[in-house]
């Protein structure tokens, strides 16, 4: 197993992508701290994982709550070997309608919390003198944009930048920091998107045409990548942003709804 005897904190792990990551880490032998602003959801996930899981209620946007999460992890597990900064706030609102409050909320949770929680955990890893690994969940929004997602795009792009900065600074202490940028995920947001569409079947066709593998990514698939980056098998990888998007950002346009003839280029 990749993570035997390691202690890993996963934020936003009460459902969706975070839950998928927590489940894979647990399966790979880690003792997982399931952190979520929804305490009941965190407890449900941790309970389903068994004794090697700890549930902690935490609003990552709150400074004191982040400190309490670190303290609880140390008190219960004795150390921290890995952190997955997954908790975040999605956001869609027209640029001209976005308020200061919108901006502050998204940046506080999706960017500021990643920086300062990583700082807390790095200090603990330094005290342990055994190194560690941090995985920051960014997004394909770090390389391309959709209308109405200004604060979210800014935050997720910022996550990639601070990932590189922290990775360079902490490398000498054997602390690795990487980012994962998922594409369309099969989580509640995807279900909500389909439910809001006038024709869910056409919505699926549209999105699949923009993804070379023609489907949404399962949370556990991102979890597999996160577990690898948290493990000792990725010792040479730090400062990377790995796109787990099914090829979405490599494709110029959606696929043609017809079969084109060959173009010889005369």
Catalytic residue among 117, 152, 207, 228: 152
Distance (Å) of CA 73 to CA 47, 104, 208: 16, 28, 40
Distance (Å) of CA 42 to CA 10, 14, 35, 250: 10, 4, 6, 35
To the query of whether residue 152 is one of the catalytic residues in this protein, the response is: yes
Rg from Cα positions in the chain: 19
Strands 31-36 and 175-182: unpaired
Residue with tokens 């390389």: 143
C-beta of residue 179 within 8 angstroms of C-beta of residue 240: yes
Catalytic positions: 152
């Amino acid at each position: 197993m990749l993570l035997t005897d390691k202690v890993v904190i996963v934020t936003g792990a009460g459902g969706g992508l975070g839950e998928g990551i927590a489940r894979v880490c647990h399966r790979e032998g880690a003792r997982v701290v399931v952190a979520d602003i929804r305490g009941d959801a965190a407890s449900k996930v941790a309970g389903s994982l068994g004794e090697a899981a700890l549930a902690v209620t935490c609003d990552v946007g709150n400074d004191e709550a982040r400190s309490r999460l670190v303290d609880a992890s140390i008190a219960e597990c004795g150390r921290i070997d890995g952190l997955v900064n997954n908790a975040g706030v999605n956001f869609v609102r027209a640029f001209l309608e976005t308020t200061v409050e919108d901006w502050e909320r998204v940046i506080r949770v999706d960017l500021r919390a990643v920086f300062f929680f990583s700082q807390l955990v790095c200090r603990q890893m330094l005290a342990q003198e055994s190194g560690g690994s941090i995985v920051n969940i960014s997004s394909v929004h770090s390389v391309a944009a959709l209308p109405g997602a200004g604060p979210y795009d800014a935050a997720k792009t910022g996550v990639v930048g601070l990932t590189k900065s922290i990775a360079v600074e902490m490398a000498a202490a054997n602390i690795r920091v990487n980012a994962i940028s998922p594409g369309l995920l099969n989580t509640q947001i995807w279900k909500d998107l389909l439910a809001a569409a006038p024709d869910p079947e056409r919505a699926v066709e549209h999105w699949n045409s923009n993804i070379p593998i023609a489907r949404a990514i399962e949370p556990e698939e991102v979890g597999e990548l996160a577990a690898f980056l948290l493990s000792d098998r990725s010792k040479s990888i730090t400062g990377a942003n790995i796109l787990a998007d099914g090829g979405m950002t490599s494709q110029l346009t959606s696929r043609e709804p017809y079969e084109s003839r060959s173009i010889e280029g005369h």
